[in-house]
Amino acid sequence: MKSLALSVAAVALAALGSQLLPPGPAPAAAFAWLVHWSLMAAAEFALPGRLPDAAGPLRFTVSGHHGALYRRLGVGHFGRLLERTGWNTLVRSARGYGGGRGGLPQLAEQTWRSELGHVWALLTALALSAVLLCLHMPETALWLVALAAPLHLYPALLQRHIRARIQRLNVQRA
């Protein structure tokens, strides 16, 4: 419920703020970037403290056949891009995962949190895009949708891919 209220508030505030934008692609792009990064910052507050095993259609356990789908979608390439840019170094240090098998359950929980945060931000951004279209601001709506895939969709898929690998390790260990 908290996440829905925060989503509605985020969409309303961003829609009001969008009315102050000067026309043109640069302000629309800057606004879209700001909205996406703000949503990720707010995602920490949108998620419950204890995560359930399922959040709607999203499950903690990743089905084994999803790995092939993620590979076809290029999720591994996206992960390597994040590695080359140094983003994964930041994330790894924030997570505090030491690389041992003992930390895998905590890492799996962190990937679940991250996935849900990205999905929440993605859905909120898409809702805002719909509102912006109704406000006759298609350029800003298009920027929001265009940035949603690299900033939220692929990161969510990457978290699922990582969790599937963790689950395979746990099965092999058992």
DSSP string, 55-103: ETTEESSPPTTHHHHHHHTTHHHHHHHHHHHTHHHHHHHHHT--SSGGG
141 falls in which pLDDT band (50, 70, 90)?
very high
- Measured CA to CA in angstroms, residue 55 lies from 85, 111, 115, 116 at distances of 31, 14, 11, 8
Domain assignment present for 168: yes
Residue 127 DSSP SS3:
helix
- Answer whether residue 104 is part of any domain: yes
Q: Let me know if residue 4 belongs to a domain.
A: no
Has residue 164 been placed in a domain?
yes
Q: What is the pLDDT of residue 38?
A: 87
Lowest-pLDDT choice from 29-33, 41-45, 82-86, 158-162: 41-45
- Give the range of the structural domain holding residue 87, as residue numbers without chain letter: 24-45+63-173
In three-state secondary structure terms, 150 is helix
In a domain, 158, yes or no: yes
In a domain, 17, yes or no: no
Return the pLDDT at 148: 94
* Domains contained in the chain, number: 1
Mean pLDDT of 106-129: 89
Q: What is the pLDDT of residues 57-92, one digit of tens each?
A: 666 777 777 878 888 899 989 989 988 998 877 877
